[in-house]
């Protein structure tokens, strides 16, 4: 079995990857991106969060632990960050599922965000048109709307999924 070489943190932080990669304990992890429904929802969520007065960032690195960087599809802050990447828990983290995402990989990301202290973690499933909210109390599927734990942000699911294109499964 081949063993991948570990990448030093300094190399990760000084290298551009297209698309960006996550960094976990010296390993580079590829992200599944590039399909229409994923791209559309990523853009849509960022616009919706900005309309609600937040600063929304697609694919901004977040240092969730000393040697762990995640790249959420969208993260949102109440104030404009002033660092190259996020080093404190953002207000909201959004992951849009891709066709090739593995449940265990998504669970690992959610666990990292929870350990980091993110209070609002939304996992969006475009094909099922469903949002699951993850908190320290567990996970729940949203019915009708998605809300932050403090109740300050409330978004009807129709606003998120209403214009999503129907995908031709070629």
Confidence tier at 12 by pLDDT (50, 70, 90):
confident
Q: pLDDT tier at 10 (50, 70, 90 boundaries)?
A: confident
In a domain, 6, yes or no: no
Residue 69: inside a domain, yes or no?
A: yes
Residue 140 lies in a domain: yes
Residue 31 domain-assigned?
yes
pLDDT at 125 over 60: yes
Strand partners, 27: 24
The per-residue pLDDT for range 22-49, each reduced to its tens digit, is: 788 888 887 766 678 888 899 999 999 9
150, 137, 60, 146: CA torsion to nearest 10 = -50
Answer whether residue 120 shows pLDDT above 80: yes
Residue 14 lies in a domain: no
User: 46-64 pLDDT, tens per residue?
Assistant: 999 999 999 999 999 999 9
Write the CATH number for 52. 3.90.1570.10
What pLDDT score does 15 carry? 82
Pairwise pLDDT comparison (23 vs 170), residue with the higher score? 23
pLDDT bracket for residue 137 (50, 70, 90): very high
Q: Which two tokens stand for residue 137?
A: 């109390």
Q: Supply the pTM of this predicted model.
A: 0.86
The domain of 125 spans 19-161
Mean pLDDT of the chain: 89
Q: Who wins on pLDDT, 78 or 6?
A: 78
Q: For residues 72 and 25, which has the higher predicted lDDT (pLDDT)? A: 72
- 87: which 2 tokens? 């080093």
How many domains is the chain partitioned into structurally? 1
Per residue in 92-113, pLDDT (tens digit) is 999 999 888 889 999 999 999 9
- Does 48 map to a domain? yes
Tokens of 96: 């849009």
With respect to residue 156, please indicate whether it lies within any of the assigned structural domains. yes
Tokens for 103, please give them. Answer: 């449940």
pLDDT at 33: 65
């Amino acid at each position: 079995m081949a063993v991948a070489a570990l990448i030093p943190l300094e190399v990760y932080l000084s290298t551009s990857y297209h698309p960006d990669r996550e960094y976990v304990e010296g390993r580079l992890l590829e992200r599944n991106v590039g399909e229409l429904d994923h791209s559309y929802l990523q853009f849509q969520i960022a616009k919706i969060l900005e309309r609600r007065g937040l600063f929304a960032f697609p694919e901004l690195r977040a240092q969730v632990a000393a040697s762990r960087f995640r790249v959420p599809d969208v993260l949102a802050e109440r104030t404009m960050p002033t660092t190259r990447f996020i080093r404190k828990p953002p207000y909201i983290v959004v992951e849009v599922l891709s066709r090739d995402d593995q449940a265990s990989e998504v669970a690992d990301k959610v666990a990292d965000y929870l350990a980091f202290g993110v209070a609002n973690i939304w996992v969006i499933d475009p094909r099922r048109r469903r949002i699951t909210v993850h908190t320290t109390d567990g996970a729940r599927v949203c019915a009708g709307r998605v809300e932050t734990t403090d109740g300050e942000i409330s978004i009807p699911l129709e606003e998120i999924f209403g214009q999503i294109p129907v995908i031709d499964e070629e």
